[in-house]
A and B are shown apart, each in its own frame.
Chain A
Amino acid sequence: DQQVKQNSPSLSVQEGRISILNCDYTNSMFDYFLWYKKYPAEGPTFLISISSIKDKNEDGRFTVFLNKSAKHLSLHIVPSQPGDSAVYFCAAQDSSYKLIFGSGTRLLVRP
């Protein structure tokens, strides 16, 4: 039973446009959410996070939105750049500080 779901395995957007990556979770006890970015043959790197007490966190071109009632979070990248092409993983942390990852969304930003 997947507790963190990324239902879109891939996404393709034009350079300069907005990329929106979505993530759904089932456990209402998750209290911290993170996005990781992964290039081929590299380990995931931390991108941005949000606490469950907030509904938005912004860092430059990256913004994460959290809708607790819908158990949904999204990552917005504006404007998208070719270097953003990577696999993006959503992760949720439970009360024991265990991180549970989604299956990832492969983003392709077309020049």
Chain B
Amino acid sequence: EAGVVQSPRYKIIEKKQPVAFWCNPISGHNTLYWYLQNLGQGPELLIRYENEEAVDDSQLPKDRFSAERLKGVDSTLKIQPAELGDSAVYLCASSLEYGELFFGEGSRLTVL
């Protein structure tokens, strides 16, 4: 069974540019999460989806971050415009209901 797939693995952009990350969860997992992990820190939840509905986006900086999961399967996280402080690893995870989270390998963003 395929795990959580994320792309790109690495992205380098200049500040003020847009960037998008894609996540395909494990088949059948209805809950999808985007986490942010800064260097030396634990993952912090940005947004959680149950199917196509965002049930917790309280930590998502909505002025520059957006996310969608239109058909309740794969998801895209966008940052526009990117700032230097956005350099981090963006992790996607999925789960069956509220069970164990399965993480992807992450997308490492560097903003110059």
* Contact surface of A with B, Cβ cutoff 8 Å: 4, 6, 9, 34, 36, 41-46, 49, 89, 91, 93, 96-104
Contacts and interface: CB of A to CB of B under 8 A. Distances in A.
Contacts, number: 46
A98 B56 CA distance: 9
B104 to A, nearest CB: 5
A4 B44 CA distance: 12
B-side interface size class: 10 to 19
Contact of B105 (A34, A42, A100): A42
B103 interface: yes
Nearest to A43: B103
Given A43-B91, A43-B93, A97 B98 contact: yes
Contacts of B102: 45-46
Given A42-B105, A43-B4, A43-B106, A99 B100 contact: no
B79 to A, nearest CB: 20
Given A42-B105, A43-B93, A98 B48 contact: yes
B42 A102 contact: yes
14 contacts: A9-B40, A41-B105, A42-B105, A43-B91, A43-B104, A46-B100, A46-B101, A46-B102, A89-B42, A91-B42, A98-B48, A100-B45, A101-B42, A104-B40
B43 interface: yes
Contacts of A91: 42
A45 B105 contact: no
